[in-house]
Amino acid sequence: MKARQIQARFWDDEFVVNATWQSRFVFIYLCTCLPINMSGIFQLSVRKIIFETGLAEDDFEIAKEELSINKKVFFHDGWVLVVNAFKNCKVWKSKSNWSAWQEEWSKVSEEMRQKFNTDVGSDVYTSQKQEIENIKQETENSQSKPYKWKEEKQPEEQRMMTSEETAELKKWADSKVD
């Protein structure tokens, strides 16, 4: 079963703060609906969106226009691209997800890719692929190096006492009790 999380900071996002209620509602729906995937590009008809959200067609059109103008979501011929879905997906450290991502993109026609690339202003697939390559490299690098604990400097009042300091403090306290 798929699971999605909406971070509490979602409500602090500048777009969300200024968006209409229709856009916020459709955006949350699209980020959590069953068809969404790791790449953020999936097939979903407008009819189904309207049915599942219960919105009037006019309200959906308000959301669709605002989401497109703000480059958050794009709609073309029964396809949807949630622009930051890929970036917000946190499953990229697992190698098994890399091939699943490739499989998702294999279902998207070249024509549809071009339409979304034009909307976004860059090559969506290539950007995501580069990000995965960076994650692969980081993963390989981290696995080849032994883990080293970071020694953090703590403020004096948060530092734990050494055994010598504890013994000295105990000696001082004992001298005061007598």
pTM for this prediction: 0.73
pLDDT at residue 149, rounded to an integer: 47
Tens-digit pLDDT profile for residues 143-169: 665 555 455 555 655 566 677 877 887
| Residue 46 reports pLDDT greater than 80 | yes
Query: What are the domain boundaries of the chain?
Result: 8-139
**Tokens 């994650």 -> residue:** 135
- What is the distance between the alpha carbons of residues 119 and 132, in angstroms, rounded to a whole number? 22
pLDDT at residue 173, rounded to an integer: 78
Sign of CA dihedral 96, 101, 104, 108: negative
Between residues 152 and 36, the one the model is more confident about: 36
Rg over alpha carbons for the chain, rounded to the nearest Å, is 25
